[in-house]
Amino acid sequence: MDAAELRGVPLFDGLAKKELERVAQWADVVEVPAGYHLLNQGSLPHEFFVILEGTADVERLGERIAGLGPGDFFGEIALVEDDRRTATVVSATPMKLAVMTTREFDSIRHDFPAVGERIDAAVQARLQR
């Protein structure tokens, strides 16, 4: 993955070029068509996603609860809470995503405390909904 693709992603604001390059090394770029199930509520967590292009719908118990677009991220709740997925995420349009495994996700949280704080704040906000 090219670090330039991560520029402008709010989660990574404030990271230096070298730091963005490190994050880019930990991520794979994946493209999916519209209608693709990226996460399923109740499943075990294995990945963390950052949207580079496209939009997705977040559903809980079959009801749409949110929409996500470029710069948004998802998949963090189950990884941070060490629990099952709390929602289903389906691509509403074709999408391009940066995807990281649990290990890379944990490395980002550990090596870049500001990013870890943003992720933790998002977890708390989303769990309160």
Chain segment 86-128, per-residue pLDDT in tens: 999 999 999 999 999 999 999 999 999 999 999 999 988 888 8
* pLDDT score for 49: 97
Helical pair 17-26 and 102-111, crossing angle rounded to 10 deg = 160
The torsion angles phi and psi of 118, rounded to 5 degrees, stand at: -65, -40
Residue 52 near residue 97 (C-beta atoms within 8 A) = yes
Percent of the chain with pLDDT over 90: 87
* pLDDT score for 128: 80
pLDDT at 26 over 80: yes
The position carrying tokens 């090219």 is 2
**pLDDT, the chain, mean:** 94
pLDDT at 129 over 80: no
pLDDT tens for each residue of 56-67: 999 999 999 999
Average pLDDT, integer, range 70-81 = 94
Instruction: Sort strands 37-39 and 88-91 into parallel, antiparallel or unpaired.
Output: antiparallel
Q: Could you name the CATH architecture of 29-102+112-127?
A: Sandwich (2.60)
* Cα distance between residue 118 and residue 61, in whole Å: 27
What's the whole-model pTM score? 0.92
Using only C-alpha atoms, the chain has a radius of gyration, in whole angstroms, of 14
* pLDDT score for 8: 87
